[in-house]
Amino acid sequence: MVQTVEKEQILEQNLSLPALFFLDIDEKICYPLRQTIEEEKTMITEKKLLSNCGDCLVLDDSKDGQYQIKIQESEHFVIIFGGTAGHASFNFQHPNIAHYSKKIMEFKHYHPIRGKFWTNSAGIDMFFVIPSNKIYILPEKGYSYVQAEINGVKVSLNVSGGTTNGWTDYLGNIVHACVNMKIKDLKKIAEVAERGTSLEPIKTKELTEEDLKLWEEKASTYSKDIKKNKEKFYDMVTSGKHLKIILQNRFSDYKNGRAMEIIRGMKEIRNGNNIEWHDNKGRVKYIIARFDDCYTERRVKLNQINWLETIAEMKKDLTNIFYMI
């Protein structure tokens, strides 16, 4: 759009001119009229059934913020939810779950000083087969985490994505979702899951012998028997018995360890209206141990210990326990 303004009007009103303008033969200045209307919103505002999305759902078609989801068309989608040892979801059972699989789950963390580091845990993958007409895609840009809703429960679907035509996520019919969800949410999702579809039977790769041993070590840490005997272990070491301590495979450089001291944190104790803090009375923080008959003591974190074998050693004939001086 072009607006023509008399030269005298420009001079009288001291109007500022844009960088690009031209002067016609009648000394009339022509310049582009500034756009005052905001760019129309192009983002969809309502959730949409996955079964109605076709092979591509465009959430935003604006020039600078284009975002779409490429979809593998399917009547059913396998949504995989995980649970780690120690969380209630680890033991969740439901007849509508199509398959269970043991897995060593890796988690990435960030520390302000140490930077990025990884931890792992024994986990269970639960495979839910959900009809596409029970899954809603939410109008939110997830950037490799498609935001969806299943039977009223919001979930994040972990997909691949990249900068194609703005940003494009690729949603296949087998996709991982959240880990350690609330039991009430898993129950609601299981309500709409189906069995006996063409996607069954679901086959997964078994853990290697080494990974299975690691999985059992980590899973056993949270069993009721281990929890009970860990407290007994702490009490015996505190009373002066230097019990044998066995570390997990990745810490196998240190062998023939003996627990020397249990280090606990502070504990809040109320005395009437007064609050007192007592050192070394709270939960166990770490264990001081000696290895290979060396008098140099090392700190051992609880998650470094193979509790399954350590407790088994403790249960042996206590009269044969060697006490270090």
The predicted-structure confidence for 249-285, as pLDDT tens digits, reads as follows 767 667 778 999 998 887 776 776 776 666 666 788 8
At 89, the pLDDT band (50, 70, 90 cuts) reads very high
pLDDT band at 320 (very low <50, low <70, confident <90, very high): low
**CB of 78 closer than 8 Å to CB of 198:** no
Task: Work out the average pLDDT over 109-114.
Answer: 82
12 pLDDT higher than 80? no
Q: How far apart are CA 252 and CA 241, in angstroms?
A: 23
SS3 (DSSP) at 218? helix
How many angstroms separate the CA atoms of 146 and 31, rounded? 45
pLDDT averaged over the chain? 81
Distance from C-alpha of 173 to C-alpha of 132, rounded to nearest angstrom? 9
What's the pLDDT band for 231 if we cut at 50, 70, 90? confident
Q: Are 248 and 217 in contact (CB under 8 A)?
A: yes
| Residue 37 pLDDT exceeds 50 | no
Contact 11, 4 (CB under 8 A): no
DSSP H helices, 203-295, are 209-220, 224-238
Q: What is the pLDDT of residue 318?
A: 58
Q: What integer is the mean pLDDT of 103-125?
A: 87
pLDDT at 25 over 60: no
Cis peptide before 201 (omega within 30 of 0): yes
CB-based contact 149:155 (threshold 8 Å): yes
In whole angstroms, what is the distance from residue 214 CA to residue 219 CA? Answer: 9
- Dist CA 101 CA 52 (whole Å): 31
Provide the pairing of β-strand 48-49 with 153-158. unpaired
pLDDT at 137: 95
> Of 155, 318, 167, 293, nearest to 237 (Cα)?
318
Query: Cα dist. 115→108, 120, 267 in Å?
Result: 10, 17, 30
The pLDDT assigned to 322 comes to 46
- Tokens describing residue 4: 């023509």
Query: Average pLDDT of 147-160?
Result: 95
Q: Which of 43, 50, 76, 44 is nearest to 149 (CA)?
A: 50
Smallest Cα–Cα separation from 291: which of 258, 246, 324? 258
Report which secondary-structure segment, H or E, holds 79.
Answer: strand 76-84
**Does the predicted TM-score (pTM) go above 0.75?**
no
Tokens matching residue 180:
């350690």
Q: What is the pLDDT of residue 27?
A: 45
Give the pLDDT mean for 123-135: 96
pLDDT at 132: 95
Sign of the C-alpha dihedral computed for residues 305, 306, 308 and 313 taken in this order:
negative
Q: Is the pLDDT of residue 224 over 90?
A: no
Question: Over 50: is that where the pLDDT of 234 sits?
Answer: yes
When pLDDT is cut at 50, 70 and 90, the band that residue 311 belongs to is confident
Euclidean distance between CA atoms 188 and 311, whole angstroms: 38
What pLDDT does residue 304 have? Answer: 83
Q: Which carries the bigger pLDDT value, residue 85 or residue 320?
A: 85
The more confidently predicted of residues 222 and 301 is: 301
Residue 295 has pLDDT above 50, yes or no: yes
